């Protein structure tokens, strides 16, 4: 890290304090890896120094996760070596990686959803008692220490699938800290975090590096990468483009390295006319409630308007979205769509009324992972065909799939490739594409660009703008307050209520943050 703790700060010991913290650097040398005929990694070499953060950036499908999987022993490289302290090691499997002092937070959460938080953390501890039994008392104690360190207010007995997406990530993060490591690779750990949660993680990274731990850090959040890293390596199409000192580069230069060309930022003023008061109302919510998550929400979304919903994780934004698409039923209040009563009983019915949700948790909710890219893109098409009473045509389905793959630059070998073989960000793009395709009247997007690279992100914003100017209304829920700059208007939710409305002209990231936290002088409206 660039910023060391101040002298006088309490010493930050990793858990298992008293056990020796191992020191050393990790190097990969000449790593190549192909899947079928295509090269995911091509002769990649880099070094993660002890006590430093080495960031890995690159477009979706550039090979970042593949490198991490190779280091973790989840994939085996075709050629190349991994070295620890200058000694070559052959990482046979994830257990072996853990024994070598390597910790991981993978891009796909690999928690067991039906297990408790404690049982999931136990899987990271590698600690068993005399008869191979878990030493539960010691484990709980360590777990409490780790969660406190992350300032995560999560019960050890909670079942993981009952937690919010962000809390699940906290658990995954906690699990990687259950055992002292000399090196931790984090594959987009902050993707579902708000600024506040990301800051907590960054503080922990700071503590880890100050005790000599080396961090390999993958993120599409470039400002974050620039502020926490010492070195940044950029991959493009499996090749290493460059390794830079973080303090000697900036966002624009980094973006150009990643995408291979310049990318402009999209803001609301470029999203066209939001439509004055004379525009018709598409969706009206009146006193909508589902206690305790959504309380008395009243708002309008006009035809062709892009409305953002800001707030902290747990503010009720996802729950509100679920009410809008019939995934949950309101306990009070009502909705109107284009002037008529609207009370969807299921997301299916909502789609038939022209209201679609791009869900936050895409892998489990948005995609059939074993299906092909084309099948997934066609699924929403089925719904749309039913709505427009147009017969479903497989030929048209393939053509539109191919057009979407091109439009979103989805990196896939063909439209017939199974979705689970795509990189994380390319899966995201497939979900967004799937719903955009249906040309709904109201599109609700829950964290639309999580895990999406900087180039594709600009493309998604452009597409949102196009949809809006074609008359689609868009609700964007986002923890990335910079992303909300594409909206004509932003509603702020806190503790289940809509507590403020900020027009694009008054848009300011810090103001939104203050409102979300409930800073006393933030609310003027």
422 binds ligand ATP (CB under 6 A): yes
Q: Which of 434, 325, 445 is nearest to 382 (CA)?
A: 434
Q: Which of residues 7-36 bind ligand ATP (CB under 6 A)?
A: 35
CB of 57 to Mg ion, least distance (A): 11
Q: Which of residues 291-310 bind ligand ATP (CB under 6 A)?
A: none
CB of 353 to Mg ion, least distance (A): 35
CB of 422 to ligand ATP, least distance (A): 5
The sheet with strand 102-105 has its strands ordered as 102-105, 183-187, 214-218, 53-58, 231-236, 239-245
376 binds ligand ATP (CB under 6 A): no
103 binds Mg ion (CB under 5 A): no
107 binds Mg ion (CB under 5 A): yes
Structure tokens at 375: 């099948």
CB of 35 to ligand ATP, least distance (A): 3
424 binds ligand ATP (CB under 6 A): yes
63 binds ligand ATP (CB under 6 A): yes
- For residues 224 to 263, the per-residue mask of contacts with ligand ATP, x marking binding by CB under 6 A and - elsewhere, is ----------------------------------------
424 binds Mg ion (CB under 5 A): yes
392 binds ligand ATP (CB under 6 A): no
Selected range binding ligand ATP among 131-139, 159-167, 416-424, 441-449, rule: CB under 6 A: 416-424
The sheet with strand 473-477 has its strands ordered as 355-358, 442-446, 473-477, 306-310, 489-494, 497-503
65 binds Mg ion (CB under 5 A): yes
Strand pairing report for 102-105 and 489-494? unpaired
Measured in whole angstroms, the distance separating CA 45 from the mean position of its chain's CA atoms is 27
Give residue number: closest CB to Mg ion: 65
Q: Which does 229 bind (CB under 5 to 8 A by kind): Mg ion, ligand ATP, none?
A: none
Instruction: Please give the Cα distance from 457 to 483 (Å, whole number).
Output: 9
Structure tokens at 75: 């994939």
- For residues 95 to 124, the per-residue mask of contacts with ligand ATP, x marking binding by CB under 6 A and - elsewhere, is ------------x-----------------
Instruction: Please give the Cα distance from 171 to 158 (Å, whole number).
Output: 11
The helix/strand/coil state of 397 is helix
Long-range contacts (CB closer than 8 Å, 24 or more residues apart) made by 300-304: 301/442, 301/473, 301/475, 302/274, 302/275, 302/473, 303/275, 303/279, 303/471, 303/473, 304/274, 304/275, 304/279, 304/468, 304/469, 304/470, 304/471, 304/472, 304/473
For ligand ATP, the binding residue among 52, 54, 64, 306 (CB under 6 A) is 64
**223-228-229-230 Cα dihedral, nearest 10 degrees:** 130
Which positions lie near Mg ion, rule CB under 5 A? 65, 107, 423-424
| Interacting residues toward ligand ATP by CB under 6 A | 35, 40, 58, 60-66, 107, 411, 421-426, 453
């Amino acid at each position: 890290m660039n910023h060391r703790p101040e002298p006088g700060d309490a010493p930050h010991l990793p858990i298992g304090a008293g056990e020796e913290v191992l020191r050393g650097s990790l190097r990969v040398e000449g790593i190549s890896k192909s899947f079928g005929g295509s090269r995911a990694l091509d002769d990649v070499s880099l070094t993660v120094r002890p006590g430093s953060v080495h960031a890995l950036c690159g477009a979706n499908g550039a090979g970042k996760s593949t490198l991490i999987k190779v280091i973790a022993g989840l994939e085996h490289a075709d050629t190349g070596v991994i070295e620890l302290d200058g000694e070559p090691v052959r990482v046979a499997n994830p257990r072996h990686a853990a024994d070598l002092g390597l910790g991981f937070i993978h891009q796909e959460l690999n928690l067991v959803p039906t297990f408790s938080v404690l049982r999931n953390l136990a899987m990271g501890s590698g600690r068993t008692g005399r008869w191979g039994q878990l030493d539960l008392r010691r484990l709980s104690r360590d777990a409490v220490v780790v969660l406190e360190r992350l300032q995560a207010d999560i019960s050890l007995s909670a079942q993981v699938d009952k937690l919010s997406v962000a809390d699940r990530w906290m658990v995954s993060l906690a699990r990687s800290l259950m055992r002292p490591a000399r090196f931790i690779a984090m594959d987009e750990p902050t993707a579902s975090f708000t600024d506040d949660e990301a800051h907590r993680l960054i503080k922990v990274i700071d503590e880890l590096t100050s005790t000599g731990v080396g961090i390999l850090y993958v993120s599409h959040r470039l400002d974050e990468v620039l502020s926490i890293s010492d070195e940044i390596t950029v991959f493009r199409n499996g090749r290493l483009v460059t390794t830079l000192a973080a303090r000697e580069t900036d966002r624009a230069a980094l973006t150009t390295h990643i995408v291979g060309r310049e990318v402009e930022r999209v803001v609301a003023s470029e999203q066209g006319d939001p439509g004055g008061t004379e525009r018709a109302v598409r969706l009206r919510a009146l006193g909508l409630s589902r206690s305790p998550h959504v309380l008395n929400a009243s708002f309008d979304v006009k035809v062709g308007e892009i409305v953002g919903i800001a707030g902290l994780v747990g503010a009720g934004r996802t729950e509100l979205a679920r009410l809008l698409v019939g995934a949950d039923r309101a306990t009070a209040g009502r909705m109107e769509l284009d002037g008529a009563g609207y009370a969807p009983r299921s997301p299916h019915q909502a789609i038939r009324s022209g209201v679609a949700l791009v869900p936050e948790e895409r892998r489990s909710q948005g995609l059939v992972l074993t299906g092909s890219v084309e099948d997934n893109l066609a699924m929403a098409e089925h719904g749309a065909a039913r709505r427009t009473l147009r017969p479903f045509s497989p030929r048209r389905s393939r053509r539109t799939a191919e057009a979407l793959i091109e439009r979103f630059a989805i990196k896939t070998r063909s439209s017939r490739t199974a979705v689970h073989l795509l990189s994380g960000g390319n899966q995201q793009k497939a979900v967004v594409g799937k719903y955009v395709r249906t040309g709904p009247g109201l599109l609700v997007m829950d964290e639309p660009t999580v895990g999406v690279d900087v180039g594709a992100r600009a493309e998604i914003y452009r597409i949102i703008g196009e949809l809006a100017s074609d008359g689609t209304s868009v609700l964007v829920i986002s923890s990335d307050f910079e992303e909300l700059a594409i909206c004509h208007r932003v509603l702020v939710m806190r503790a289940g209520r809509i507590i403020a409305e900020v027009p694009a002209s008054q848009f300011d990231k810090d103001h939104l943050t203050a409102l979300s936290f409930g800073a006393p002088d933030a609310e003027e409206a």
